[in-house]
Amino acid sequence: MPIERTLVLLKPDAVRRGLIGELISRFERAGLKIVAMKMVWATPQQAERFYPSSEEWFKSAGSKLLRAYQELGVDPKSRLGTDDPVELGKYIKKKLIEYMTSGPIVAMVLEGNRAVEVVRKLVGPTAPHSAPPGTIRGDYSIDSPDLAAEEGRVVFNLVHASDSREEAAREISFWFKPEEIYSY
Ligand code: IDP
Ligand code: MG
């Protein structure tokens, strides 16, 4: 079935900057249907459980950081004290929990044709400084992994979006009960 559902979180920086309406309208404008929505101030326990804690996730997050540093010409050891992907992944998760609990977020389920892929396209790649214009991350932020590390935080990139149908199913059920999702 090409009609899919995906989870979007407007992160604390988006809420703080007053971008809720603007960001929601981008998804609506593209033809996606909002089938569930709420504002939540996540607890550290919720944020910890929302993001995976597998060795695989740590390694993948750490490897992504290493690639970003390579492109930016930054030495991970002198910046963060290690170049081990798993250790760097654990650092990202810790800082991600601080970020995601720093203020309220807006959680929503979007439905539409190939919604998972389409929403990722509208959101853009993880690091805003290299996200293309026209994407949410490219249009509303110039943050980068090296600046973020210098300031002891993860990149502030406004939006979370599920990156596969499997991840979407798990993430939707994490934030919403079945009766909070509407068919209309
Ligand atoms: P995504 O949000 O584009 O799917 P993920 O790899 O799932 O990216 O990482 C989750 C979040 O962790 C990102 O949105 C970002 O806030 C933060 N993050 C991921 N990788 C890095 C990094 O290399 N440096 C700083 N922050 C990162
Ligand atoms: Mg992700």
Please determine, for residue 1, whether its predicted confidence score (pLDDT) is greater than 90: no
Look at residue 24 and tell me whether its pLDDT is greater than 90: yes
Q: Are both 145 and 162 inside the same structural domain?
A: yes
Examine the residue annotation and report whether 160 is marked as an active-site residue of this protein.
yes
Residue 6 bridge partners (DSSP): 110
Cα 114 to middle of ligand 1, angstroms:
22
Pair 118, 91 in one domain? no
| Count of the separate structural domains present in the chain | 2
With a CB cutoff of 8 Å and minimum separation 6, the contacts of 47 are 96, 97, 100, 101
Return the amino acid letter for 158.
L
Average per-residue pLDDT for the chain: 97
**112 pLDDT above the threshold of 90:** yes
Rounded Cα distance between 6 and 151, Å, is 31
pLDDT, average across residues 115-126: 98
CATH number reported for the structural domain that contains residue 20 in this entry: 3.30.70.141
Name which residue sits closest to atom 19 of ligand 1, judged by CA: 61
Structural domain range at position 56: 43-102
Q: Which of 102, 117, 146 is the last residue of a domain?
A: 102
Would you say residue 53 has pLDDT above 90? yes
Q: Are residues 136 and 48 in the same domain?
A: no
Q: Are residue 69 and residue 28 in the same domain, yes or no? A: no
**CA–centroid distance, residue 163 to ligand 2 (Å):** 6
The tokens describing 157, both together, are: 């990139």
Give the ligand at the shortest distance from the Cα of 143. Answer: 1
Same domain, 123 and 86: no
Candidate from 5-9, 66-70, 94-98 with smallest mean pLDDT? 66-70
* pLDDT score recorded for residue 102: 98
Whether the per-residue pLDDT at 153 is higher than 90: the answer is: yes
pLDDT average, residue stretch 139-164: 96
Q: Pocket residues for ligand 1 (CB within 6 Å)?
A: 61, 64-65, 68, 92, 96, 126, 145, 148, 154-155, 157, 160, 163
Ligand 2 centre from 162 Cα, in Å? Answer: 6
> Does one domain contain both 82 and 113?
no
> Can you give the pTM of this predicted structure?
0.96
Q: Is the pLDDT of residue 65 over 90?
A: yes
Which pLDDT belongs to residue 161?
A: 98
My answer on whether 98 and 144 are in the same domain is: no
- Which ligand approaches the C-alpha of residue 171 most closely? 2
8 and 51 share one domain: no
- Are 53 and 144 in the same domain? no
Q: Which of 90, 129, 137, 160 is catalytic?
A: 160
Average pLDDT over every residue of 73-102: 95
CA-nearest residue, atom 6 of ligand 1: 61
User: pLDDT > 70: what percent of the chain?
Assistant: 100
CB atoms within 10 A of CB 48: 16
